[in-house]
Every structure is written in C-alpha cells, then in structure tokens.
Chains A and B, each alone.
Chain A
Amino acid sequence: MDTQDEYQVDLGNLMAFDPFHHFTSIPSSREELVADCLSKGTELVQAIVSGIFNLPSTEDIDGPLVKLPPPTTKLPREKPLPKPKHPTRWEEFAKAKGIRNRKKDKVVWDEQTGSWKRRYGYDRVNDDADIPIIEAKMTDEPGVDPFAKRIAERKERVQKQQKNQLQNLKTAAKAGALPSHVQLAATALPITGTQAAKKKFTKDELGNVAGLASTATASGGKFDKKLRGEKPVKNQGKHRKFLPVVEGSGIGSQEKEQTERVLSKLISSNSHEILNVDKAVTMYNVNKERKRRNQYGKPSSTRNEHGKSSSTRNEHGKSSSTPSKLKPNNKPMKAKSLPNKGKGEFLE
C-alpha cells in the first residue's frame, strides 16, 4: 500500500508517476542509465498492475475483464461541449401551453377495410390514394378536378412544413446548436455577376431615387408637370448660393457685411497679440500732454511744426490717436491684409 501513496497512480490512463525520483549518482554510461530507468519503471508498473489486478474482474473468453475507473488526470478537451438541442417553434409553444406528447400506436384499426393498418407510411390508414371515387357535393365548383385539388393541397401542406423546418433550423444555427449532420447551404451561389441575388429596395431608397430623378433637370424640376399625388422631394441636397461680388445696395452689401463679420471676429480674437503695450502707453502720454497744452493756451506756431498732422485732426474733434483704426472701408479685400500689416500698431 505504501507504494500507492508514494506514487501518483491514475488507473484510468494506466499511468503512474514518481515525483520524488532522482538519480543519486549520474550514471556514467548509457547502458547504466537505461538499466536504472527500467528498474524504476518496473517498480512503477508493478504499482499500476497491483492496482488493476485487485479490481473486481469478470471472466471472459479472452481473459479476465476489469472495469477501469475513469481517468483522474485532467486533460483538455478536443472539441467544445455539445450544445443542447434547440427547441422548435412547436416545442416552445407546447411548453408554454403545457401540451404533452402522448404515445400513439403504430397500427390503427381501419374501418374501411376492416383490418389493422399502419398509421403512417406504406399501406396506411385513410390513405387518399385508396379512395377511387369522391362523391360530388352541391357546393362543389364545376370544372374542378377533386383529385388534382387533393394532390395540390397535399403538396402545399408539405411545402409549408418544409418552410417551418427550415425556419427552425435557421434559429438553431443562430444559437449554434445545429445537428451535426445538417448543413445550411446557400442555394444560388453568386458565381458570376449575372447570377447575383436580386436586391429588394426599401421604401426609403425608392423615395430617394424618385426625388433624384424628378430634380434632375436644368430647372431642378421646378417647371415639370407634377403627377397627381406626387409628394415633395425628400432629402433634397443643399444648393450653394453665392452672393454677388459687385458692390451695391441690397444683396450687394450683404457680401461686404459677411466679410466684415468674419474679419472682425478674427481680429477680436487675436487683438491681444496685435496690441503693443509700450507704444500704446507712449501714445496715450503724448495725447494727454497735448490736451493739457491745449487747455493752457493756443498752441504756438513753433510747437505746431512737428505735430502738424495730429493737431489738425484734433480740431475735427475726433480722437485721432489711432492712426490705422480698422474702419468699415470700401475695399474689404484690402482690409484682409491688415492684421499682418498692422502688427505692432496700436488698435483701439
């Protein structure tokens, strides 16, 4: 018994493992090594054999049979676990309603012939093919072959069943639980371009196409005759509109305003960069000085010599300290270059 504890024995795989064995002295030659390994192997096999021969056995013609325990060594699977069978639509319904299957006899008493017959299959009860005469009724439509009608109905039933079967298989395939022998294959393979399956257009797509067609004239469909009940075009694309570049009143001035709006936005966002603080301060000081002088007395001619332009502007009453203030001038395109040109200048 102590050998059983020392070794790990897996009877299901007929495997034994000695996790403590190591060579006390490394064998010098190959023969020695092999002999060493074989002697160890013999011990281990003996452990398995004693385990097996002590299992209850039954006599057979070929020899004693023992029932092996299942393997204990955990090994990975080869394939994923099989998925449970997907219920069909009927099975789901029957479960919800609590309908249970009852066993039916395979053979049924046939009253017509007075004998036992199969329920389904060859030579079955109530077989349509056995009835040679169908009695006409008052309600029958004239000109309809009752036999052909019966066959057609039967075909329809079979077709419906096939459709249901396919639907069930499709849902099973979605759940990944298709029976192993069944494959779902595309019937018409698009091998060549002409054989591609026809695409069904949606209502939206059709509407879009109709809209495109109706506006595909020079006038954008404005003067076309409308059909009765024709709806206005959905999702009509945007048309770009350009403002006149030529100056003028009304729409002509709109263009100017637009450019100005863009420009002032640009400049206002960058104004702190354009402002030169030193220059602004000196400018302010100069102005202040000049004002003070004006207050004390009329400027003398000598002083006027170097401040010619500024003094004349002052007389107009407007502050002229901003030499290049951006005004809504008449040439908007020229104003565009101002931010570069005006750098380092004081702006209000």
Chain B
Amino acid sequence: MLKVKTPKNRRVQRELEKRAPRLVEKGKKTLLLQGTKTSNVLNTVLSEIYHLKRDNAIRYTRKNDSIRPFESGGETSLEFFSMKTDCSIFVFGSTSKKRPDNLVIGRTYDHHIYDLIEVGVENFKRMDSFTYDKKLAPQAGSKPFIVFSGEAFESVDELKHLKEVLLELLRGEVVDNLNLAGLGRVYVCTAISSNRVFLTHCALRLKKSGTTVPRIELVEIGPSMDFVVRRHRLPNESLRKEAMKTAKDKTHKKIKNVSKDALQGKLGKIYVPDQKLGEMVLPNKSKGVKRERREAKKKNSTNEPASKKQKEDS
C-alpha cells in the first residue's frame, strides 16, 4: 500500500518548493568541502571563497575520505551532499605530493556530476595581506562584475571550460533589477599562459567624469591567486544537450506581421479590411433632405395651412 506523505507544516513545504525544479533558474548554491589532507593555503582559499559567497554557499569543514571526483565510485558521497544541501556547484580542496594545493571545481545536473575541472592554487595572497581604504570595502552579497581577458580563454579548451565554471561560481544570483548604488566589486580573470589564470578580487571606485557614466578605478582587495589547470572532464554530449534546455525555447511563439530590418528597424504589416461601400453612410443623408419628404413638401406647398388645420382637428 502507498500513503500520501505531505509536509506537516508550511515551513517544510516552502523548503521543498524551493528545491523543486523551476522554469527559470536563479543561480546555483555552492558547496565547499575538502578531502583528507589540506594545506594551510587551501583552507584559507576555501574559507575566503565561502566568505565572498556567504549568501548562497555552504561550507563543510570535516575531512572526507571517500571523495575522489575524477575516479569512478569516488563521486557517490559528493552527489549525496549535493542532494542534501541542494548545491549544484562544489569546490573540493585536497593536497597531495603529486597535486599540491588542488581545487576541483565541478557542477552537477540533477544532483549528478555534470563536469569537473581541476586547478592548482599558486601565488595565493589572502585578504588580510591587502591594505586599502576600508571605506571602499564592498557590501556583502552585492552583485559582482566579472571580467575575463586573454585569447587563451577562447582558443584553449581547458581555459574555455574554466571560464564558464568560474563565471557560474562567481556571478552570484541572477537578478532582474539592479541597484546602481550597490555596485562595488569585480573579479578580474586574466589568462597569463595557456594553462595559467590569474584571478583577483577588486573594489570599484566610482569617480565623476562629467557624464552620466562614472569613471572607474580598481583597487585590489584580495584574495588573489593563480590557477594552474590540471585535469578536466567535460560533460558528454547528450547530458549537455539535456542540461542546456531552457524554458524559452519551449515557449517560443511566432509573432505575426512583425519583421525586423537592419536599415528600417522594426517593421509591422497592417491589413486594411475591404471597404463595404453599399453599407457606408453618405454625408448628405440627413432626415430633412430625404427625397420623399422633399417631394411631399412640394406637393403640399400649395395647401400648407390646410394641413396644419388637419393636425389641429385630430
């Protein structure tokens, strides 16, 4: 026998509804966790990423000995954590002799591993080591700018992948309305060589420029680090196709009679219905000028007073 199980209170129901799939998604939650061995650097990297993404990230601080994302069977507990915490991006830190200061950044689709990229952290400078005017410190949870530069981000496969993953990791929540006063930080990613990316976090200083658009100055506030790409695994084609589906391609409706032209812009077609001349009201067809009345008037013009009399009689 089956029984219908529904949440006992609204709080639980709301929580379940939050986890339900939705047509338009609003960004992913991040899970930060580590393996059996981590270094001092990695601990700081993980905690600072967590600090920067505090509004939608979860940090696990226990050792995980069964997580090996690139090996088969090593992803089961990762997938379970993803299910439990409802996180779709994970950052897994571990260090070993072969791969010192190793970060595995991966994404999940439907709580199964979608893709993975492994980077080594080098030249790490923590937040505390930067000195700057504390007035510039950005607000927590503000939406960051992300800029990428370097041709390697387009030509090298690994970096192209890393760019996509970093964008998703750093961009925060997708918003409709943006408060211009809340803008204050930017992540700068630069491809230095074909496998090395420099990532830093800066504050924005808006200066007057005489126009509505302010002049921008960047002040480095940290953390800053180099990512050296190691292994990566792209999703297989069918999974990628499945995951790339959007609500938009489903509800794409054809708009009739509107076309776009490069020169003239938006063009519309208007169809004028047939003119029905027979039913048209002519301008000179008022009651007073009707033919019968005119004729009658002529006829009665001789004995007009008589008719008046008749009326009086009746």
By a CB distance below 8 angstroms, the chain A residues around B19 are 180
By a CB distance below 8 angstroms, the chain B residues around A186 are 1-3
With A21-B150, A40-B149 already in contact, the answer to whether A184 and B244 are too (CB < 8 A) is no
| A109 touches B (CB below 8 Å) | no
Kindly supply a per-residue 1/0 record for chain B positions 218-255, scoring 1 wherever the CB is within 8 Å of any chain A CB and 0 otherwise: 10100010000000000100001011111100100000
Q: Which residue of A lies closest to B12 (CB)?
A: A181
Q: Which residue of B lies closest to A8 (CB)?
A: B148
A17–B280 CA distance with the chains assembled, in angstroms? 63
By a CB distance below 8 angstroms, the chain A residues around B150 are 18, 21-22
Contact between chains at A82 and B167 (CB < 8 Å): no
* Chain A min CB distance to B202 (Å): 7
By a CB distance below 8 angstroms, the chain A residues around B151 are 19-22
Contact between chains at A181 and B213 (CB < 8 Å): no
Per the CB 8 Å criterion, the residue count for chain A at the interface is 62
By a CB distance below 8 angstroms, the chain B residues around A34 are 198, 200, 220, 224
Q: Which residue of B lies closest to A83 (CB)?
A: B21
Kindly supply a per-residue 1/0 record for chain B positions 117-150, scoring 1 wherever the CB is within 8 Å of any chain A CB and 0 otherwise: 0000001000000000000000000011111111
Q: Is the interface of B mostly helix, strand, loop or mixed?
A: mixed
Q: Which residue of A lies closest to B123 (CB)?
A: A30
Q: Which residue of A lies closest to B239 (CB)?
A: A76
Q: Which residue of A lies closest to B198 (CB)?
A: A37
Most buried by B among A34, A45, A73, A188: A45
Interface residues on B, range: 35 or more
| B303 touches A (CB below 8 Å) | no
| A187 touches B (CB below 8 Å) | yes
By a CB distance below 8 angstroms, the chain A residues around B168 are 75
* Chain A min CB distance to B115 (Å): 8
| A114 touches B (CB below 8 Å) | no
* Chain B min CB distance to A45 (Å): 5
| A183 touches B (CB below 8 Å) | yes
Contact between chains at A53 and B204 (CB < 8 Å): no
A15–B7 CA distance with the chains assembled, in angstroms? 40
A18–B147 CA distance with the chains assembled, in angstroms? 8
Contact between chains at B149 and A17 (CB < 8 Å): yes
| A263 touches B (CB below 8 Å) | no
| A217 touches B (CB below 8 Å) | no
Contact between chains at A68 and B177 (CB < 8 Å): yes
| A170 touches B (CB below 8 Å) | yes
Q: Choose from A76, A170, A188 the contact partner of B109 (Cβ within 8 Å).
A: A76
| A46 touches B (CB below 8 Å) | yes
Interface segment, A55-63, A99-107, A125-133, A271-279?
A: A55-63
Contact between chains at B180 and A63 (CB < 8 Å): yes
| A267 touches B (CB below 8 Å) | no
Contact between chains at B5 and A78 (CB < 8 Å): no
* Chain B min CB distance to A158 (Å): 14
B-facing residues in A206-223 (Cβ within 8 Å): none
Contact between chains at A76 and B244 (CB < 8 Å): yes
| B71 touches A (CB below 8 Å) | no
Interface segment, B46-54, B185-193, B256-264?
A: B185-193
Contact between chains at B179 and A62 (CB < 8 Å): yes
A-B contact pairs, 26 of them (CB 8 A): A12-B174, A14-B143, A14-B146, A15-B146, A15-B148, A15-B167, A16-B146, A20-B151, A22-B151, A37-B198, A38-B188, A40-B149, A41-B147, A42-B217, A50-B213, A52-B178, A66-B180, A73-B167, A76-B240, A77-B109, A79-B25, A181-B7, A181-B17, A182-B4, A183-B4, A185-B2
| Besides the known contacts A53-B180, A82-B22, 12 further A-B residue pairs in the complex with CB atoms under 8 A apart | A14-B145, A16-B146, A17-B147, A37-B149, A38-B218, A49-B183, A63-B180, A77-B109, A77-B246, A78-B25, A81-B247, A184-B4
Enumerate chain A interface residues (CB-CB to B < 8 A): 12-23, 30, 33-34, 37-38, 40-42, 44-46, 48-50, 52-54, 57, 60, 62-68, 71, 73-82, 165-166, 169-170, 180-188
Nearest 9 interchain pairs by C-beta: A63-B181, A180-B20, A76-B243, A41-B188, A44-B147, A79-B21, A183-B5, A18-B149, A21-B149
